[in-house]
Amino acid sequence: MEKLAVIVLWALVVASGVLVGGSVFERIVVTPLWAASPPESVSAWTLGAIQRPFFIVVTPLWALLSLAVFALAFALPEPARPWARTAGIIGVCVMIATVAFFVPLLEKTEANRGAGLSGADIARFTQMFVQWSYLRSAVALGGWMAALRALTLASR
């Protein structure tokens, strides 16, 4: 059972790295293109939610692996368990926040060009997405670091 737990932990570390890398790319390249000066930049955006194909695969995979690592943490060596549990909890919490908060904001703004919203609402929702994304990215990075620490301790 320990071997399975370590394999799943490895997969979580890889998925976390891919997710964090995609988040950095989104933050540096994609978000400034559509969120630079709302509401005009949102209304002029014609590409929709271009990051969706990437994140619709990577984020649920990360969440499932996080849940699996949390469930299998008991099979890891004692020093790795709290780190694995932390990584697992972070993955699930970020997934819940993404589905409940971030995806609806993107649907209202980037995906639909703010259709049906006032300029003030477009600007407010865009600012909410941009500002809260910093916290989400930092928490996801923390989850990756926790998974790396768990893997390091489990591999000793």
Residue ranges per domain, the chain?
Answer: 2-154
Q: What is the pLDDT at residue 78?
A: 96
Report, as an integer, the average pLDDT of 91-98: 96
Return the DSSP state at 37: S
Report, as an integer, the average pLDDT of 110-129: 96
Judged against a pLDDT cut of 80, whether residue 156 lies above it is answered with no
Judged against a pLDDT cut of 80, whether residue 73 lies above it is answered with yes
Any alpha helices (H) in the chain, and if so which ranges?
A: 2-25, 31-35, 40-44, 52-72, 81-97, 103-106, 119-154
Q: Which residues contact 124 (CB under 8 A, 6 or more apart)?
A: none
Please give the Cα distance from 53 to 73 (Å, whole number).
31
pTM of the model: 0.92
Please give the Cα distance from 98 to 114 (Å, whole number).
19
**Which residue matches tokens 């499932």?**
64
CA angle 116, 132, 91 (to 5 degrees): 115
